[in-house]
Amino acid sequence: MRGRPHLYVSYESEQSLLPTWTQRVMVGLLVFLLVLIPLQGGIEIGDRLYQPVGFLGDNAWLKILSRVAIFGIGALGLNILTGLAGQVSLGHAFFMGIGAYTAAVLGGEVGKAHWGLGLPIWIWLPAAGLVAALVGMLVAPTAVKVRGLYLAIVTLGLVFIGEHLFRNLTSITGGSQSGRKFPSLDFRLWKEEEPFLAFTSDGPMWPVFNWLDWLFGPWINFPAEMSEEAKTYLALAALLVVVVVLAKNLQRTRIGRAFMALRDRDIAAEVMGVPDAKTKFEAFALSSFYAGIAGALLVAFIGRAIPEQFNLLLSVQFVVIVLIGGAGTVAGTLMGSVFVFVFPRLVQDFSGWLTETVESGGVIGSIADVFVSTGLDDPGLVSTLEGVSPGLNVSQLNVVIYGLLIIGFLIFEPLGLYGIWLRVRNYWKGWPFSY
């Protein structure tokens, strides 16, 4: 085959996840970058330290990226149910709550005010998924009876039932507002004092990364320490990668196709031999499994589980991730969750930048002044004042832009970010003859 490297010679190579070398290299680079981020490698030129990817390694950014990973896992679950199987669900927060409290009971401290068995993460994390999946199976029969908007309302009901239960089962959940402390992400083999792998304390760089020093040592300096946030991020990102591969595989095999068939034409799918009830059952179970895992991870990441977390807003957030990203695609779902968490930070940085520009004056400053209000008499879009003011504060601005973007996406690009990516890619594929 020499000389014709791009020819597929087997179904296996054509159907692999990354069929071409370009894709393999690009994805490899992306994963490499994701690993580099928390290591905060820097290049010293003169007496200044440049951090090409390391700037994302500060703790605030790492927390954002960790959330992206957790919500990515949960959103991939909703993508199976809504994107692939076409079942609209507003109950994702409920399943996350089930997972979170399962984990809390199994992994929580023993003998305190709340039930806790003190088991290690390798028990409570899968168990969170499994219990959520079981509850999902109980809900599934309803989905066989009702569809579309009606299903959305039924699953909406779940969220309220869930919130009520979580508030009142105080021995499990700690009750309204206060909640309960949550087991950390530390990996213990059993109940020993010292964790086998500590994710929740600062410490020396993991020996796994020694090769980086060996490889890039002469040019790039890696700090000898690793923060708690960096370790947590790496653990969550690794989990996300595993879940992405699982989700991708599901989509290209028999059950994934059955889900999509039910979404596109349910009667035809049945006539082709796809059992309606059983398949929807599986979709609910799988989706809830992912939700349960994400719920457990989320409260472990925050360190505290409060019943009010698992409200309708959380469910809606997942629907937004799937819609903005592009329903039915794994890559789109990931883009969606990056967008939803990175975007607010960018808006915040942007308004900060605007304010600075106004204060520094000059031509650009006076243009920026139109948008920024610096005092009660000064109208503008964004306000630099605390509390009540003529302009919107940063978080209000965030919400407004967020809402506008959702509307915009639904109208102009139903395929979401993934659709935009496809268009950009196809443009450059055809370049310079792109019409």
Partner 1 sequence: MSHLLEFKDIGLAFKGVKALDGVSFHVDEGELFAIIGPNGAGKTSTFNCLNGVYKPQQGDIVWEGESILGMRPDRIAERGIARTFQNIELFAHMNVLENISLGRHVRTNVGWLAGSVWLGKAKREEMANRAKVEDIIDLLEIEQWRKYPVGLLPYGVQKRVELGRALAMEPKLLLLDEPVAGMNLEETEDMARFILDIREELGIAMILVEHDMGLVMDIADRIMVLDFGTPIATGVPVDIQRNPEVIKAYLGQEA
The answer to the question of residue 247 lying near partner 1 (CB under 8 A) is yes
Residue 302: Cβ-neighbour burial (10 angstroms; 0-12, 13-18, 19+): middle
Q: Which of 264, 349, 356, 359 binds partner 1 (CB under 8 A)?
A: 264
Q: Count H helices, E strands: the chain?
A: 17, 8
The answer to the question of residue 148 lying near partner 1 (CB under 8 A) is no
Between residues 11 and 211, which has the closer beta carbon with respect to partner 1?
A: 11
Q: Which of 121, 140, 258, 340 binds partner 1 (CB under 8 A)?
A: 258
Q: Which of 22, 201, 210, 253 binds partner 1 (CB under 8 A)?
A: 253
The answer to the question of residue 413 lying near partner 1 (CB under 8 A) is no
* Joined tokens for residue 82: 């809504």
- Least Å distance between CB 22 and partner 1? 17
The answer to the question of residue 323 lying near partner 1 (CB under 8 A) is no
CA–CA separation, 286 and 386 (whole Å): 45
The answer to the question of residue 424 lying near partner 1 (CB under 8 A) is no
The answer to the question of residue 13 lying near partner 1 (CB under 8 A) is no
The answer to the question of residue 250 lying near partner 1 (CB under 8 A) is yes
CA–CA separation, 346 and 348 (whole Å): 5
- Least Å distance between CB 130 and partner 1? 12
- Helices marked H in 146-275: 149-168, 170-173, 210-216, 228-251, 254-264, 266-271
The answer to the question of residue 74 lying near partner 1 (CB under 8 A) is no
* Joined tokens for residue 123: 């028990």
Between residues 100 and 247, which has the closer beta carbon with respect to partner 1?
A: 247
* Joined tokens for residue 221: 């300096």
The answer to the question of residue 270 lying near partner 1 (CB under 8 A) is yes
Residue 325, C-beta contacts closer than 8 angstroms, at least 6 positions apart: 75, 331, 332, 333, 334, 335, 336, 337, 339, 416, 417, 418
Between residues 159 and 258, which has the closer beta carbon with respect to partner 1?
A: 258
Residue 400, C-beta contacts closer than 8 angstroms, at least 6 positions apart: 392
Stretch that binds partner 1, among 28-36, 207-215, 250-258, 388-396 (CB under 8 A): 250-258
Residue 305, C-beta contacts closer than 8 angstroms, at least 6 positions apart: 100, 101, 104, 173, 174, 179, 180, 182, 299
β-bridge mates for residue 49, sequence order:
44
Between residues 24 and 265, which has the closer beta carbon with respect to partner 1?
A: 265
Q: Which of 252, 345, 423, 425 binds partner 1 (CB under 8 A)?
A: 252
CA–CA separation, 57 and 219 (whole Å): 19
**Residue numbers 346-405 binding partner 1 by CB under 8 A:** none
N-terminal to C-terminal alpha carbon distance within the chain: 34
Q: How many other C-beta atoms lie within 10 A of the C-beta of residue 163?
A: 20
Between residues 133 and 397, which has the closer beta carbon with respect to partner 1?
A: 133
The answer to the question of residue 269 lying near partner 1 (CB under 8 A) is yes
The answer to the question of residue 12 lying near partner 1 (CB under 8 A) is yes
Between residues 17 and 161, which has the closer beta carbon with respect to partner 1?
A: 17
* Joined tokens for residue 100: 């979170």
Q: Which among 254, 294, 257 has a CA at the least distance from the CA of 85?
A: 257
Stretch that binds partner 1, among 109-117, 166-174, 251-259, 343-351 (CB under 8 A): 251-259
Between residues 275 and 375, which has the closer beta carbon with respect to partner 1?
A: 275
The answer to the question of residue 255 lying near partner 1 (CB under 8 A) is yes
* Joined tokens for residue 171: 């021995």
**Residue numbers 271-300 binding partner 1 by CB under 8 A:** 271-276, 282, 286
β-bridge mates for residue 305, sequence order:
180
Between residues 163 and 282, which has the closer beta carbon with respect to partner 1?
A: 282
Between residues 68 and 274, which has the closer beta carbon with respect to partner 1?
A: 274
Stretch that binds partner 1, among 7-15, 90-98, 217-225, 403-411 (CB under 8 A): 7-15
Binding footprint of partner 1, residue count (CB under 8 A):
32
Length of the chain: 435
The answer to the question of residue 130 lying near partner 1 (CB under 8 A) is no
Chain residues that interact with partner 1, rule: CB under 8 A: 11-12, 15, 246-247, 249-250, 252-258, 260-261, 263-265, 267-276, 282, 286, 328
